[in-house]
Amino acid sequence: MGIEYSSLDPFVKVTLAGESKETTVLIGSTTPLWNQDLDFSILIPPGEIQDIQSWVESQSFFFELFDFNSHGIVSHTELLATGSIPLSQVLYSTKKTVMINLLMNTSMDVFEANKPVYLEILIEDLTAEKWSWAKVRDKYTYPEEGDEINIFINKTF
């Protein structure tokens, strides 16, 4: 049983460092546009600067595109596509738009053959200047244990 492209009710789940957030479901949308903010506050783990850099380089944002289906009181979701972007790539600049090529769930026949699906996101690092990633990376100043990295994501699809 496949999903009809004309009847998608999409939403995106974003996960970073064990924290997940979801966009709203857009009913009946084949060209969804979420003008929605998802904020992530990540606790910097304790350790030396090298440990923190290693941790940051091991983290990625994971994106999952779902189709929401509701039948009366019963609802379920179907995974359509996935993608990711390394956290370090996000933190190298304070604001940028990123296009993520999503990998389609091969068991789904949702989108036109050979037509790539992209998730366009605006990422902004809202970390206070004194703890900006560039300074952590260049070792000019050291974040203290328990400090946070704040990241804002605005998604379109």
Domain of residue 66, CATH code: 2.60.40.150
Strand partners, 44: none
What pLDDT, on a 0 to 100 scale, did the predictor assign at position 75?
Answer: 74
Place of tokens 């999952």: 64
Phi-psi region for residue 26, left (φ > 0), alpha (ψ -120 to 50) or beta? beta
What pLDDT, on a 0 to 100 scale, did the predictor assign at position 14?
Answer: 92
What pLDDT, on a 0 to 100 scale, did the predictor assign at position 6?
Answer: 60
Name which of 148, 138, 127 is nearest 53 in CA terms. Answer: 138
What pLDDT, on a 0 to 100 scale, did the predictor assign at position 112?
Answer: 53
What pLDDT, on a 0 to 100 scale, did the predictor assign at position 106?
Answer: 64
What pLDDT, on a 0 to 100 scale, did the predictor assign at position 89?
Answer: 78
Split into its structural domains, the chain has a count of 1
Q: Classify strands 95-104 and 74-86 as parallel, antiparallel or unpaired.
A: antiparallel
What pLDDT, on a 0 to 100 scale, did the predictor assign at position 137?
Answer: 41
Q: What is the mean pLDDT, run by run of 10 residues, along the chain of 157 residues?
A: 63 92 88 83 76 86 88 79 85 71 69 64 62 41 48 48
Quote the domain boundaries for residue 52: 5-156
